[in-house]
């Protein structure tokens, strides 16, 4: 009888301890769900950008990237000659130079699909490597930049993240309506559970 009472009380006090932390998680989650990160960062106060430039090296050639009204153009620097997109062979070479991975195959990605592992600038080369973790490297079509490195570990993380934020399609929208509704319901549940702890029978 005493043992049963002990475990009942143990469960009761453990539940209130856990419930308080769940309440804090829920409150913070509601804040995230109802506030867009772009607004939190103050992006709405930025003035429209003018012309931007970036000079970088692409396989021994200096390239200048010009961004004007969202459009990017590429020329050699300082000559100003037009440059061609990277070839598949060059994308493999860049992957070998800029990572510790061993590239074995390559393909060109030209469009997005919901839930894709790569969500950067397109087009881009997808370079497959000979790893047990299924690692793919995404290389910029014009720049040769390593845009993303995706592995099985990342894919598991991405799937679990979609479950966490309840965005099962795009997997990165933390302000979706389903999460907003469920977070409020979770708040009500947490508060009611804590209230019941203090209500004497």
Domain ranges within the chain, ordered by starting residue: 2-35+175-198, 45-83, 85-172
Instruction: For CA atoms 64, 147, 139, 46, give the dihedral sign.
Output: negative
Please compute the mean of the pLDDT values over residues 164-181 and round it to a whole number: 88
The fraction of the chain above a pLDDT of 70, given in percent, is 98
pLDDT given at position 201: 56
Task: Report angle CA 161, 167, 169 to the nearest 5 degrees.
Answer: 105
pLDDT score of 106 more than 80: yes
pLDDT tens, 57-101? 999 999 999 999 889 999 999 999 999 999 999 999 999 999 999
Q: Which residues pair with 179 in a beta bridge?
A: none
Q: Selecting from 3.90.700.10, 3.30.420.10, 3.10.450.40, 3.90.1010.10, what CATH number does the domain 85-172 have?
A: 3.10.450.40
pLDDT tens, 121-141? 999 999 999 999 999 999 999
pLDDT score of 29 more than 90: no
Residue 142 CA to residue 72 CA, distance in Å, equals 10
pLDDT score of 199 more than 90: no
pLDDT given at position 182: 86
pLDDT score of 3 more than 80: no
pLDDT mean across residues, the chain: 90
Residue 105 CA to residue 98 CA, distance in Å, equals 16
Distance of CA 186 to the CA centre of its chain: 25
pLDDT tens, 49-58? 889 999 999 9
Residue 101: which H helix or E strand, with range?
none
């Amino acid at each position: 009888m005493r043992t049963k009472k002990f475990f009942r009380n143990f469960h009761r006090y453990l539940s209130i301890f856990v419930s308080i932390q769940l309440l804090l998680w829920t409150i913070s989650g509601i804040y995230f769900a109802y506030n867009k990160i772009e607004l939190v960062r103050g992006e709405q106060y930025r003035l429209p950008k003018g012309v931007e430039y970036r000079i970088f090296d692409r396989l021994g050639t200096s390239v200048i990237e010009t961004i004007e009204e969202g459009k990017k153009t590429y020329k050699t620097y300082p000559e100003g000659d037009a440059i061609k997109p990277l070839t598949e062979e060059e994308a493999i070479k860049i992957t070998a130079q800029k990572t510790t991975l061993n590239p074995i195959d390559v393909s060109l990605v030209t469009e997005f699909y919901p839930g894709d592992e790569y969500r950067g600038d397109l087009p881009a080369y997808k370079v497959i490597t000979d790893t047990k973790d299924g690692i793919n490297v995404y290389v910029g079509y014009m720049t040769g930049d390593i845009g993303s490195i995706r592995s099985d570990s990342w894919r598991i993380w991405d799937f679990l993240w979609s479950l966490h934020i309840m965005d099962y399609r795009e997997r990165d929208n933390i302000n979706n309506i389903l999460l907003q509704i469920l977070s409020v319901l979770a708040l009500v549940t947490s508060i009611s559970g804590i209230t019941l702890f203090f209500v004497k029978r």
